[in-house]
Amino acid sequence: MIEVRHTSGLGLAELAAARALLFAVFDDMTDADWEHALGGLHALAWDGPDLVGHASVVQRRLLHGGRALRAGYVEAVGVRPGRQRQGYGAAMMAELERVIGAAYDLGALGATDEGAAFYRSRGWQPWRGPSSALTPDGIRPTPDDDGAIFVLPGAVPLNLDAPLTCDWRDGDVW
Whether 73 contacts 96, CB under 8 Å = no
CA 152, 155, 156, 158 dihedral sign is positive
Mean pLDDT in residue range 104-120 = 96
Using a pLDDT cut of 70, give the percent of the chain over it.
100
pLDDT in tens, 115-145: 999 999 999 999 999 999 999 999 999 999 9
Helix (H, G, I), strand (E, B), or coil: what is residue 120?
Answer: helix
Burial (0-12, 13-18, 19+ Cβ within 10 Å), 60: buried
pLDDT in tens, 66-97: 999 999 999 999 999 999 999 999 999 999 99
What is residue 138's predicted lDDT score, i.e. its pLDDT? Answer: 97
Q: How confident is the model at residue 112 (pLDDT cuts 50, 70, 90)?
A: very high
What is residue 157's predicted lDDT score, i.e. its pLDDT? Answer: 95
Using a pLDDT cut of 90, give the percent of the chain over it.
99
pLDDT in tens, 9-18: 999 999 999 9
Among candidate residues 174, 169, 166, the one with its CA nearest the CA of residue 63: 166
In sequence order, what are the beta bridge partners of 48?
A: none
The chain-wide mean pLDDT, for the chain, equals: 97
DSSP conformational letter for 13 = H
- Please list the alpha-helical segments (H only) found in 28-105: 31-36, 88-103
What is residue 8's predicted lDDT score, i.e. its pLDDT? Answer: 98
